[in-house]
Amino acid sequence: MSTTASPGAIERHPPGLFLLFFVEMWERFSFYGMRALLIFYLTKGFLKATDDSAYAIYGAYTALVYATPFIGGILADRLLGTRLSIILGGLLMAAGHLVMTVETTVGLYTALALLICGNGFFKPNISTMVGALYPAASARRDAGFTIFYIGINLGAGLAPLVCGYIGETYGWHYGFGLATIGMLVGLATFVAPSALSTALIIATAVGATAVMFISTKDDMLQMGLNAPVAIALVIAAIVAAMNLSRGGIPKDIGRPPPDDRSLLKGSSTFRFGVVAVATLACVPLIALLISRNEMAGYVLTTFGVVSLAYLIFGMVTSTKVERERLIVVLVLTFFSMLFWAIFEQAGSSVNNFTDRNVDRVVGDAPADIGKEYKNVEITQEFYGQTIDGKRWELADIADAQKARLEAIKEDPNTTVGTITFTANDSKHALIGVGGGELKASVFQAVNPICIMLFGLIFSQLWVFLGRAGKDPSAPFKFGLGLVQLGIGFGVLWWAAKSADSMGMVAMQFLILSYVLQTTGELCLSPVGLSLVTKLSPTRMASAVMGTWFLATAFSQYLASFIARLTGGEHGAGEGTVPPPWETVNTYGEVFGQLGIVAVAAGFLLFVLTPFLNKWMHLDPKELAAGGH
């Protein structure tokens, strides 16, 4: 993690940084807004997919999302430049979010394919543009990327609270529609003149804050959760507006390469058109890969084998120092892949665990057996129960909640449904009535919020340890990250073991797990890219970086196979999941095994650290610098 600038130094950063902060924030808002809803949309939306099918689709999508930035970066370098690549990526992603509102199978796969292509153009190039704002030797570059990283996580934290909450509460298409708007706002902010961009930043921050409070006016619990993030958003908008009064992104940054360096001669408009048409032609193929997700695995495996063979050949023809450095890169690439394969359960199996087995109802009272309740709000407490002859599935609860909102909207005095709890089932006595339910998707905000809270602390910790000569080396930090990740999943295992007779666990366990996973991420994630660029031979730098991103893509695909171990159907039938008291132990066993694997891997890295430190061939200061 990089160091941070002092408050006075923030004003001296290039004003374009604050523009890109909001462009990326809105892009991450749209991306993570869709991600927060995707598993629930697949299992509880029109598709009514089984857990296995949903995890397979999710895994293929996330794997390809992380694979395409390598191609997008090459096309930007050799054809479009970063500006046009960001615009093309934004348009494709906005189209993808919009198509997600069309509830057909073809629409679903097409939407995911558009998002994959768009991310490939957008994600690598906006980071490149941030770096281009600074001179090569600028001491403020690291602090600038830290500010930019805060923007990423502000958008990622905002997304579940807005898109996730509204999508689960009012309808999937509303959540995806907001993701579409977020992407278009980010794109408009990027292309508009500086003065208009400033106005857009202020207006959309105020607008998003208004949406957060208006949509939760009858849900004080959710409103209280939204408030800190809304305040952070408004403060960020004010800071950005103050800095953008000094200008925007210099016009010479991000231009297309000249004809002598381009793969295709012609005007920038011509190149843009060719690439856009070629990309759209690839959309059906990518949609096919997602629908037949095993094909995505074959593609990733093929590229992985070719990439690994190339690196091994490079080692054979390298000097001793280069060869040993490449060995370190491959070793850390493996452990990084393992980390993300476990960590990314957050969007799949942990998301479903949150939906099904984490008690998200606050302030309810035990139901009275034999009492007839009118206008009861159906909550997660009903999941798996058979009441008045009806067995309540997750999709039924979601539909009942939305129907109740619509009925009350039409007539606030209406009576919506009558429920009678009987003594026929002992578990009825454990059902709560009333209270407020936190939507499962909003827990996706815990990780990015923790990154914003702890990121600067970790940054200063590494600086403090560095001054004392005790900053851990990059491999040791990787080990720390894995151990904390493992402990985080150990907390989920303990939560499952401590579940009540309804199969429900306290949400405090989930939050603690996310906190531990986040501190693990802060030990590992900021280290990787810096170290890869430092250790790769110049002649192989792009290939090694491509391998690093490809490993991340493969970890997403591997994550889907891990998630399938928790699949809830077990022969119960499509769209039907066993009650929580039958699934909680399945989740607990898998999470416990993941915790053991992560901790063991972390301690293995501790053992390997002295050898890896030696093979990096860096002086002590550079060893520590690889970590921030």
- Residue 33 sits in a domain whose CATH number is 1.20.1250.20
pLDDT tens digits, 563-591: 999 976 543 445 567 889 989 999 999 99
Say what the pLDDT of residue 623 is.
Answer: 57
Rounded CA separation 256/84 (Å): 8
Q: What is the mean pLDDT of the chain?
A: 86
Question: 586 in a domain, yes or no?
Answer: no
pLDDT tens digits, 552-562: 889 999 999 99
Question: 311 in a domain, yes or no?
Answer: no
Residue 534 has pLDDT above 90, yes or no: no
Same domain? 382 vs 285: no
CA distances from 512 to 212, 217, 450, 582 (A): 25, 28, 11, 24
pLDDT tens digits, 407-429: 877 877 776 666 776 655 656 66
Higher pLDDT, 526 or 53: 53
Same domain? 21 vs 167: yes
Question: 263 in a domain, yes or no?
Answer: yes
Count of other CB atoms within 10 angstroms of residue 407: 15
Residue 366 has pLDDT above 80, yes or no: no
Question: 587 in a domain, yes or no?
Answer: no
Same domain? 50 vs 163: yes
Same domain? 286 vs 368: no
Please, which pLDDT band fits residue 381 given cuts at 50, 70 and 90?
confident
Read off the tokens for 515: 């906190």
Residue 625 has pLDDT above 60, yes or no: no
The pTM of the whole model exceeds 0.75? yes
Higher pLDDT, 392 or 591: 591
Same domain? 270 vs 369: no
Residue 195 has pLDDT above 70, yes or no: yes
For the chain, how many structural domains are there in total? Answer: 2
Same domain? 74 vs 162: yes
Same domain? 132 vs 29: yes
Question: Quick one: average pLDDT of 279-283?
Answer: 96
Question: Quick one: average pLDDT of 80-98?
Answer: 94
The listed range with the strongest mean pLDDT (146-150, 372-376, 404-408, 492-496) is: 492-496
Rounded CA separation 404/550 (Å): 46
Out of 150-154, 183-187, 423-427, pick the least confident.
423-427
Do 568 and 384 touch, CB atoms closer than 8 A?
Answer: no
User: Which of residues 263, 291, 319 is at a domain's end?
Assistant: 291
Same domain? 124 vs 266: yes
Same domain? 63 vs 210: yes
SS3 labels along 510-524: HHHHHHHHHHHHHHH
Same domain? 264 vs 376: no
Say what the pLDDT of residue 343 is.
Answer: 97
Out of 20-34, 288-302, 445-459, 527-541, pick the least confident.
527-541
User: Which of residues 409, 437, 465 is at a domain's end?
Assistant: 437
Same domain? 373 vs 266: no
Say what the pLDDT of residue 572 is.
Answer: 44
Please, which pLDDT band fits residue 3 given cuts at 50, 70 and 90?
very low
Question: 516 in a domain, yes or no?
Answer: no
Backbone angles phi, psi at 387, to 5 degrees: -125, 130
Read off the tokens for 54: 């949903």
Out of 57-66, 251-260, 356-365, 445-454, pick the least confident.
251-260
Same domain? 223 vs 94: yes
Question: 505 in a domain, yes or no?
Answer: no
Please give the single-letter amino acid code of residue 76. Answer: A
Do 514 and 488 touch, CB atoms closer than 8 A?
Answer: yes
Residue 226 domain boundaries: 14-291
Question: 79 in a domain, yes or no?
Answer: yes
3-state SS, residue 468: coil
Question: Quick one: average pLDDT of 61-65?
Answer: 92
User: Which of residues 406, 422, 437 is at a domain's end?
Assistant: 437
Question: 356 in a domain, yes or no?
Answer: no
